[in-house]
């Protein structure tokens, strides 16, 4: 087995120019899912991948989602979900690898150094839209299989690739496809590996075992049937925006701490083990302060507190108000109906339904005390937090893989945001999910000058090779 690893790694080292050339082809297929004019490019990209899967002797399965109606009236097929079936042994569990082949919009006018759809190498960096999000990691999976094929080494695990084409547009249709296939192609999936996030620091790899959930609230307050002039009605009516400001302010204190009763009760207590994980993590809070656009101060400056605030404690952010005057200058209008928007980031063991209930109840209690005669309506939508077990086989395999390739123990990290596909896989497939980031935090996904480091791209192939190898060992230990 060790012999095989060496051969595979050598093969990877010898083919870096080909790897870059093929990433250039993939980036040139400008598969922007949000743009109806580029929908045919998404389809081209899907074909490009399917042909590749078939060249690698996998079975390509194209799952169509249906038709999308755009704001301009166009009706077009959604980009399909592509599966690449590389299973050989029906008696062993299946590993599912997730990536997406669609990309964010990009225009050289927005301040790109190079044409965003023409991959450009400069000082070890591969610039191009989708280079790191998520075409580089997607190709890493294909290259890992290709290396096995070229060397005549069988894949050590039953592998199914799942490549989505609507991730940057809300992953529309994915959950339906996963649900359907949970009884078919995906029925034996036990391990899920998502390669679509980033290291915490450029200097050390990490594995991601947790994500915050979210409940997004829209608090509607309705009063008069039309906007009124404050000269005529100021002082005469209960203004909906006065209600709203008094309502919103009860949710937090001036420091941003959440004051809603019961909401903090279900937050899991911090364990000693967790503390030691956080203490080990390589992270520069001063750099974070700069990334936040030179904010004069963070709420906490200590590394562990900063990271815990981001990852494992809930937070409430106000986003804005709809229906009120939001333009420049002055306008002396009393808005007749306003909607306050805020969200709470959730952590274990908070569940959206439960938190929404507490918030709604509290808002109603407060509002009733105003006796304003206006109408309150609370709307919410939520996603659960996710927490993986970093002691399980999947994480162990990923950890050992990074150690083999980078000679360093990866940090164990979480994310402050949510990655909805994680919940989708957890819900429909169960099993062990692991997020293996391959890109660097400075890659600029979604920004101008997105890039993937050549080093991350090439070593990523080795990480995947080693991961499959280690996971195979973990699986055989169990049988």
Enzyme catalytic residues:
102, 167
> Residue 94 in contact with residue 186, Cβ under 8 Å?
yes
> Residue 189 in contact with residue 93, Cβ under 8 Å?
yes
Q: Which of 6, 73, 183, 225 binds a second copy (CB under 8 A)?
A: 225
Query: How distant, in Å, are the alpha carbons of 306, 408, 442, 443 from that of 203?
Result: 19, 10, 11, 13
CB of 244 to a second copy, least distance (A): 8
Query: Cα separation of 12 and 385, whole Å?
Result: 37
**In the window 11-70, what residues touch Zn ion (CB under 5 A)?**
none
Query: Cα separation of 199 and 413, whole Å?
Result: 9
CB of 104 to Zn ion, least distance (A): 6
Q: To the nearest 10°, the Cα dihedral for 109, 111, 114, 117?
A: -60
Map residue 261 onto helix, strand or coil.
coil
**In the window 426-465, what residues touch a second copy (CB under 8 A)?**
none
Nearer to a second copy, 134 or 243 (CB): 243
Nearer to Zn ion, 102 or 470 (CB): 102
Query: How distant, in Å, are the alpha carbons of 289, 307, 345, 346 from that of 317?
Result: 18, 17, 8, 12
> Residue 416 in contact with residue 345, Cβ under 8 Å?
yes
**In the window 127-166, what residues touch Zn ion (CB under 5 A)?**
133-134
**In the window 337-356, what residues touch a second copy (CB under 8 A)?**
341, 343, 345
Size of the site for a second copy (CB under 8 A): 80
The secondary element (H helix, E strand) that includes residue 430 is: none
**In the window 161-200, what residues touch a second copy (CB under 8 A)?**
none
Q: To the nearest 10°, the Cα dihedral for 327, 332, 337, 343?
A: 50
Residue of 384, 447, 404, 394 whose CA lies nearest to 98: 394
> Residue 439 in contact with residue 452, Cβ under 8 Å?
yes
Question: Which does residue 134 touch among a second copy, Zn ion, none (CB within 5 to 8 A, set by kind)?
Answer: Zn ion
Q: Which of 254, 271, 407, 478 binds a second copy (CB under 8 A)?
A: 254
Q: Which of 62, 232, 259, 268 binds a second copy (CB under 8 A)?
A: 232
Work out whether 392 is an interface residue with a second copy (CB under 8 A): no
Question: Which does residue 295 touch among a second copy, Zn ion, none (CB within 5 to 8 A, set by kind)?
Answer: a second copy
- The b-or-e profile of 289-301 (16+ CB within 10 A means b, else e) is beeeeeeeeeeee
Q: Which of 224, 266, 282, 303 binds a second copy (CB under 8 A)?
A: 224
CB under 8 A: which stretch of 32-40, 51-59, 329-337, 471-479 binds a second copy?
A: 329-337
Tell me how long the chain is: 479
328 alpha carbon, distance to own chain's centre: 34
Nearer to a second copy, 31 or 33 (CB): 33
Question: Which does residue 47 touch among Zn ion, a second copy, none (CB within 5 to 8 A, set by kind)?
Answer: none
Map residue 462 onto helix, strand or coil.
helix
Nearer to Zn ion, 133 or 443 (CB): 133
CB of 210 to Zn ion, least distance (A): 18
One character per residue 171-200, x = contact with Zn ion (rule: CB under 5 A): -------------------------x----
Question: Which does residue 218 touch among a second copy, Zn ion, none (CB within 5 to 8 A, set by kind)?
Answer: a second copy
Question: Which does residue 228 touch among a second copy, Zn ion, none (CB within 5 to 8 A, set by kind)?
Answer: a second copy
Nearer to Zn ion, 146 or 196 (CB): 196
Size of the site for Zn ion (CB under 5 A): 3
Q: Are β-strands 213-222 and 337-346 bridged in parallel, bridged antiparallel, or unpaired?
A: antiparallel
Residue of 221, 212, 216, 257 whose CA lies nearest to 356: 216
CB under 8 A: which stretch of 38-46, 127-135, 145-153, 222-230 binds a second copy?
A: 222-230
Question: Which does residue 426 touch among a second copy, Zn ion, none (CB within 5 to 8 A, set by kind)?
Answer: none
**In the window 195-214, what residues touch a second copy (CB under 8 A)?**
212, 214
Q: How many CB atoms lie within 10 A of CB 51?
A: 11
Burial class (CB in 10 A: 0-12, 13-18, 19+), 271: exposed
Binding site for Zn ion (CB under 5 A): 133-134, 196
């Amino acid at each position: 087995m060790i012999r095989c690893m060496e051969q595979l790694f050598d093969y990877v080292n010898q083919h870096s120019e080909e790897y870059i050339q093929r990433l250039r082809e993939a980036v040139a297929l400008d598969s922007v899912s949000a743009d109806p004019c580029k929908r045919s490019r998404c389809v081209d990209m899907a074909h490009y991948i399917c042909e590749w899967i078939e060249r690698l002797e996998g079975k390509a399965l194209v799952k169509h989602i249906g038709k999308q109606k755009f704001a301009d009236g166009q009706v077009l097929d959604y980009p399909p979900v592509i599966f690449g079936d590389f299973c050989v042994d029906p008696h062993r569990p299946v590993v599912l690898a997730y990536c997406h082949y669609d990309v964010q919009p990009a225009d050289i006018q927005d301040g790109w150094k190079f044409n965003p759809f023409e991959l450009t190498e400069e000082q070890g960096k591969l610039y191009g839209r989708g280079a790191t999000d998520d075409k580089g990691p997607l190709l890493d999976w294909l290259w890992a299989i290709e290396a096995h094929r070229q060397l005549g080494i069988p894949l050590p695990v039953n592998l199914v690739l799942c490549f989505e084409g609507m991730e940057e547009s809300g992953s529309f249709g994915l959950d339906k496809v996963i649900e359907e296939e949970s009884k078919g192609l995906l029925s034996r999936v036990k391990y899920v590996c998502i390669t679509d996030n980033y290291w915490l620091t450029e200097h050390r790899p990490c594995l991601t075992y947790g994500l915050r959930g979210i409940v997004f609230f829209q608090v509607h307050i309705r009063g008069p049937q039309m906007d009124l002039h404050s000269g005529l009605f100021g002082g005469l009516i209960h203004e909906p925006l006065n209600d709203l400001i008094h309502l919103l302010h009860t949710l937090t204190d001036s420091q941003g701490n959440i004051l809603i009763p019961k909401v903090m009760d279900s937050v899991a207590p911090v364990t000693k083990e967790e503390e030691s994980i956080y203490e080990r993590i390589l992270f520069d809070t001063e750099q974070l302060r700069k990334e936040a656009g030179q904010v004069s101060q963070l709420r906490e400056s200590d590394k562990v507190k900063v990271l815990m605030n981001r990852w494992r404690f809930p937070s409430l952010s106000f986003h804005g108000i709809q229906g009120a005057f939001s333009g420049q200058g002055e306008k002396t209008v009393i808005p007749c109906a306003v909607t306050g928007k805020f969200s709470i980031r959730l952590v274990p063991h908070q569940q959206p339904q439960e938190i929404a209930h507490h918030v709604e109840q509290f808002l109603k209690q407060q509002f009733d005390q105003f006796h304003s005669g206006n109408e309150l309506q609370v709307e919410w939508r939520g996603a659960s937090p996710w927490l993986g077990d970093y002691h399980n086989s999947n994480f162990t395999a990923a950890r050992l893989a990074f150690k083999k390739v980078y000679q360093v123990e990866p940090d164990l990290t979480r994310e402050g945001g949510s990655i909805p596909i994680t919940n989708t896989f957890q819900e429909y497939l169960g099993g062990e999910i692991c997020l293996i980031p391959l890109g660097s935090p400075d890659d600029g996904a979604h920004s101008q000058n997105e890039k993937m480091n050549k080093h991350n791209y090439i070593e990523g192939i080795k990480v995947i090779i080693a991961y499959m190898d280690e996971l195979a060992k973990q699986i055989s230990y169990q049988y």
